[in-house]
Amino acid sequence: MHQANLITTRREGTVLVVTVQNPPVNALSVNVRHGIIEAIKHAQNTAAITAILLTGQGKHFIAGADINEFSRSPQAPLLPEVCDCIEASKKPVLTSMSGATLGGGLEIALAAHFRVATPSATFGFPEVTLGLIPGAGGTQRAPRLIGIKSSLAMMLTGKSINAHEALSIGLIDHLNQSEDALSNGLRFIQTLVKGEINIRRRADVKISSKDLEKATLALDEARQGSKAIGTSFGATQALIEALEGSITLPRHEGMARERALFLQCLGSPERSALVHVFQSERKVMKLPSEFHGSARPINSAGVVGGGTMGASIAVCLLNGGLSVVLIEQDNDRLETGLERIRSILQHLHSRGRMSKQEHEAVLQRLQGATDYIALSTVDLVIEAVFEDIVVKKAVFERLAEVCNPKSILATNTSYLDINEISSGLSRRSDVLGLHFFSPAHIMRLMEIVVPQSTSKDVVASGFELARRLGKIAVRSAVSDGFIGNRILANYRKAAEYMMEDGASPYQIDSAVRAFGFPMGPFQISDLSGGDIGWAQRKRKAATRDYRERYVPIADRLCEAGWFGQKTGRGYYRYTDGKRIGEPDEDVLLLIENVRREKGIKPRSFTDEEIIRRYLAAMINEAANVVDQGVAERPLDIDITMIHGYAFPRYRGGPMKYADDYGLDKLLADIREFALEDAYFWQPSNLLQERVTTSGLFEDLNN
Ligand code: 3HC
Ligand code: NAI
């Protein structure tokens, strides 16, 4: 056996078996690239070798380029060279694939002369989700194998296809029955050894004029729709251009165009932001080693309260394979809650997101009760009753009495102090916050709120549960609104101040959308219902700091009964049950009245200034949240805001955005705004410290 760094080679008769061994996902790091080239060259120079089988050790064949290398200067040999070397081999090269074959991994497979796969194998070009395009001939070889239409479909969405689809579009030559990639490959390669099939190189394939016409049409269509697809607009455009090269240019020029566009994307801020998000999504889910292995088993759960949140949390748990008991105050409310759950499940089933068997099995695992005794054997309880400390405390006292001593007691509170909810309980170490976002069965974010008294195994169990439910979990300490809602409260205020000072809610929403959020703050308010915030403001009125500027516009809307979509009017007017509202003159009049009462002379704002203020308020409070240890690192903020509040992913989250924008510039903005309102615009200590030391938020992530 010959060991070349992360590649092993061995002989099986006249076949050279080349195995990539670069755990966890066989990424194409420089030593892997080097090892593959060495192995191919070795085969060319060894007369006894008649064919080469390339395969991967472990779960996946190859998950693409090594993402960690993107921010360093590239080291030779580069991937295009590896692919060219494979394609040019005089001896047939077969790739036998299992698990994921992604990005550069799929480009290697396309450069090989033949491809076989196991039944569970998947294939994809996820580059666009990282702000990139395939950069090792993928945009030139794929159209010559599967055509432009399938190439576009795979590359523009970044979504993987399964082995059956891959066979049907001609991406693989053969689909095996067994999951053993090595023996599948060895079996298939015998046909090549015997010379029954000739070598087929993608480079030799010419696109016919008929195909050319169809391909041009498909590209035009993609160009027209390209704004709506992909997570990175720059990469989407580059992708279409590179694919076009495969039909309009001689091959070597097409390759050169692809390379130039790839390098352009590699250097873009979108790429850097998207890779930051990819890596941060994995980092947030990792707990320090002292937590490892201590999670308690969770197979059954209770949900207390079958309202909006309780019902959708129950759906999450059921979908995650748990059995669920729903608890409500009385039989009528219980039936309403169960019906809410059943109707979400029915909807998922009718949309094809759940098979008939899964639907039936899930319903079997659902029960309801009005007596808390039904919770005596469950492993976990999630409380989702009214946002009222008295009601929540009473529920937890009852839970502490009836639940078994190993069970975990969680609350889904949005704002309340979990230390207070659990005060007086004998088992405070079992209590934590599991803050889901609405609708819980769709939103991926979950804040795991950890009071100081919570034991490590309970925290570890929260993260294990998140993994099982397919959620992205972020750890938060107890704080008013935890990470996300606390930051939201601050940038919402900035939006309201701008509205009172002269910008219309419609201009603010539009500027925020142009930045990349799907909705502006006033549209969101109309969607979630103004009454919730109104009640919260009334509760807090007595304790509000006298220095805080208060904008009464939202209260005036509520006093008029305009709660948003559900009442047909809010900041917008919703006619005929439409979900997209129209600007409302009456609302503008109401705002003008408030300005007049307060003696505010309205001024104009540019969209650019709106965004500067909106984001400065967001980032400044986020810096406080990190500084006070509520969020562990800046990256926890980025993931919270992307997955819970729709911050545009391609901008990397507010802290990454702040680093790119310039922290000194941001601090100067805040100081400028503070000239008008020094109480609201107090620069965060952490932001000031970063500027003084010329550091970045990024430096605090590791
Ligand atoms: N490079 C480096 N590390 C990678 C990686 C890659 N391409 N893909 C995954 N990893 C790392 C992850 O960061 C994680 O590291 P950690 O253990 O330190 O957190 C570890 O591998 C396991 O990853 P997951 O937790 O995501 O494991 P899963 O089993 O859930 O998923 C996967 C496996 C489907 C392969 C998933 O990791 C994935 O989608 N990876 C990204 C693949 C990708 O985008 N490839 C394209 C790269 S761009 C390219 O190839 C350009 C080329 O055209 C030139
Ligand atoms: P909701 O008003 O829709 O539902 C509350 C349910 O709890 C009602 O069905 C009520 O009958 C039931 N209930 C009240 N007291 C009970 C008791 N003692 N025993 C059993 N059931 C009881 O409220 P919603 O919106 O579902 O909120 C629930 C919790 O989730 C609140 O703490 C809220 O702050 C939090 N939350 C809400 C989000 C949202 O967007 N609605 C998002 C995240 C958290």
Q: Supply the pLDDT for residue 230.
A: 40
Determine the residue type at 138: G
Q: Which ligand is nearest to the CA of 262?
A: 1
The answer to whether the CB of 258 is under 6 A from ligand 1 is no
Q: Which ligand is nearest to the CA of 68?
A: 1
Closest-lying ligand 2 atom to the alpha carbon of residue 392 = 18
- Residue 304 CA to ligand 2 center (angstroms) comes to 8
| Cβ–Cβ < 8 Å for 570, 563 | yes
- Residue 423 CA to ligand 1 center (angstroms) comes to 43
Q: Supply the pLDDT for residue 2.
A: 44
Closest-lying ligand 1 atom to the alpha carbon of residue 60 = 35
**Residue 410 reports pLDDT greater than 80:** yes
| Cβ–Cβ < 8 Å for 261, 423 | no
Look up residue 614 and give its DSSP letter: H
**Residue 31 reports pLDDT greater than 80:** yes
H or E stretch covering 460: helix 456-469
Q: Measured between alpha carbons, how far is 361 from 405 in angstroms, rounded to an integer? A: 29
Residue 103's nearest CA partner among 55, 139, 72, 49 is 139
- Residue 413 CA to ligand 2 center (angstroms) comes to 8
Name the pairing type of β-strands 161-162 and 122-124. Answer: antiparallel
Q: Supply the pLDDT for residue 583.
A: 97
The answer to whether the CB of 328 is under 6 A from ligand 2 is yes
Q: Measured between alpha carbons, how far is 687 from 670 in angstroms, rounded to an integer? A: 10
Closest-lying ligand 2 atom to the alpha carbon of residue 306 = 9
Q: Which mutation among 313, 329, 389 tests ligand 2's pocket best, with the greatest number of atoms within 8 A of CB?
A: 329
Residues contacting 421, CB < 8 A, separation 6+: 389, 392, 393, 396, 411, 413, 431
The answer to whether the CB of 250 is under 6 A from ligand 1 is no
Look up residue 696 and give its DSSP letter: -
Q: Where are the alpha helices (DSSP H) in 434-529?
A: 456-469, 484-501, 505-515, 521-528
Q: Supply the pLDDT for residue 218.
A: 87
Q: Whose CA is nearest to atom 25 of ligand 2?
A: 308
Q: Supply the pLDDT for residue 577.
A: 81
Structural tokens at position 520: 């502006």
The answer to whether the CB of 331 is under 6 A from ligand 2 is no
- Residue 286 CA to ligand 1 center (angstroms) comes to 15
Q: Measured between alpha carbons, how far is 502 from 281 in angstroms, rounded to an integer? A: 39
What separation in angstroms does the CA of 615 have from each of 447, 493, 647, 658?
Answer: 22, 12, 10, 9
Please give the average per-residue pLDDT across 29-36, as a whole number: 96
Q: Measured between alpha carbons, how far is 376 from 656 in angstroms, rounded to an integer? A: 46
The answer to whether the CB of 107 is under 6 A from ligand 1 is yes
Provide the percentage of residues in the chain whose pLDDT is more than 70: 98
Residues contacting 303, CB < 8 A, separation 6+: 310, 313, 314, 317, 324, 325, 326, 327, 381, 382, 384
Instruction: Give the pLDDT band of residue 168 (cuts 50, 70, 90).
Output: very high
Cis peptide leading into 583, omega within 30 of 0?
no
Q: Which ligand is nearest to the CA of 235?
A: 1
**Residue 533 reports pLDDT greater than 60:** yes
Instruction: Give the pLDDT band of residue 300 (cuts 50, 70, 90).
Output: very high
- Residue 347 CA to ligand 1 center (angstroms) comes to 33
The answer to whether the CB of 151 is under 6 A from ligand 2 is no
What separation in angstroms does the CA of 631 have from each of 132, 503, 567, 624, 682?
Answer: 30, 32, 37, 9, 19
Q: Whose CA is nearest to atom 22 of ligand 2?
A: 305
Structural tokens at position 423: 């005060």
**Residue 368 reports pLDDT greater than 60:** yes
- Residue 25 CA to ligand 1 center (angstroms) comes to 6
Closest-lying ligand 1 atom to the alpha carbon of residue 129 = 44
The answer to whether the CB of 65 is under 6 A from ligand 1 is yes
Please give the average per-residue pLDDT across 102-111, as a whole number: 98
**Per-residue pLDDT tens for 432-441?**
999 999 999 9
As a whole number of angstroms, the longest Cα–Cα distance in the chain is 93
**Per-residue pLDDT tens for 130-160?**
999 999 999 999 999 999 999 999 999 999 9
The answer to whether the CB of 69 is under 6 A from ligand 2 is no
Residue 125's nearest CA partner among 112, 116, 136 is 136
Q: Measured between alpha carbons, how far is 141 from 213 in angstroms, rounded to an integer? A: 18
**Residue 291 reports pLDDT greater than 90:** no
Q: Which ligand is nearest to the CA of 533?
A: 2
Instruction: Give the pLDDT band of residue 279 (cuts 50, 70, 90).
Output: very high
> Roughly how many angstroms between the first and final C-alpha of the chain, as a whole number?
39
Instruction: Give the pLDDT band of residue 596 (cuts 50, 70, 90).
Output: very high
**Residue 210 reports pLDDT greater than 80:** no
- Residue 160 CA to ligand 1 center (angstroms) comes to 13
Q: Measured between alpha carbons, how far is 476 from 484 in angstroms, rounded to an integer? A: 9
* Residue 430 CB coordination number (10 Å): 26
| Cβ–Cβ < 8 Å for 166, 172 | yes
| Cβ–Cβ < 8 Å for 414, 481 | yes
Q: Measured between alpha carbons, how far is 337 from 451 in angstroms, rounded to an integer? A: 29
Q: Whose CA is nearest to atom 3 of ligand 2?
A: 307
**Residue 4 reports pLDDT greater than 60:** no
Please give the average per-residue pLDDT across 327-348, as a whole number: 98
Instruction: Give the pLDDT band of residue 536 (cuts 50, 70, 90).
Output: confident
Q: Which mutation among 20, 22, 25 tests ligand 1's pocket best, with the greatest number of atoms within 8 A of CB?
A: 25
The answer to whether the CB of 64 is under 6 A from ligand 1 is yes
What separation in angstroms does the CA of 47 have from each of 42, 44, 89?
Answer: 10, 7, 13
Mutual angle of helices 607-627 and 663-674, in 10-degree steps:
100
Question: Is 14 strand, coil or helix?
Answer: coil
Q: Measured between alpha carbons, how far is 127 from 124 in angstroms, rounded to an integer? A: 9
- Residue 554 CA to ligand 1 center (angstroms) comes to 45
Q: Which mutation among 59, 67, 231, 243 tests ligand 1's pocket best, with the greatest number of atoms within 8 A of CB?
A: 67
Please give the average per-residue pLDDT across 540-555, as a whole number: 94
| Cβ–Cβ < 8 Å for 441, 458 | no
Q: Supply the pLDDT for residue 227.
A: 57
**Per-residue pLDDT tens for 454-508?**
999 999 999 999 999 999 999 999 999 999 999 999 999 999 999 999 999 999 9
**Residue 585 reports pLDDT greater than 90:** yes
Please give the average per-residue pLDDT across 355-379, as a whole number: 97
Q: Supply the pLDDT for residue 192.
A: 86
**Residue 381 reports pLDDT greater than 70:** yes
**Residue 5 reports pLDDT greater than 90:** no
Q: Supply the pLDDT for residue 3.
A: 43
C-alpha 511, offset from chain centre:
23
| Cβ–Cβ < 8 Å for 306, 334 | yes
Please give the average per-residue pLDDT across 197-208, as a whole number: 79
Please give the average per-residue pLDDT across 628-632, as a whole number: 97
Catalytic positions, written as ranges: 107, 127
The answer to whether the CB of 304 is under 6 A from ligand 2 is yes
Domains of the chain, start order = 7-266 (3.90.226.10), 298-478 (3.40.50.720), 489-701 (1.10.1040.50)
Q: Whose CA is nearest to atom 44 of ligand 1?
A: 126
Q: Which ligand is nearest to the CA of 271?
A: 1
- Residue 567 CA to ligand 1 center (angstroms) comes to 46
The answer to whether the CB of 103 is under 6 A from ligand 2 is no
Supply the mean pLDDT for the chain.
94
H or E stretch covering 52: strand 51-56
Structural tokens at position 391: 């009601």
**Residue 74 reports pLDDT greater than 90:** no
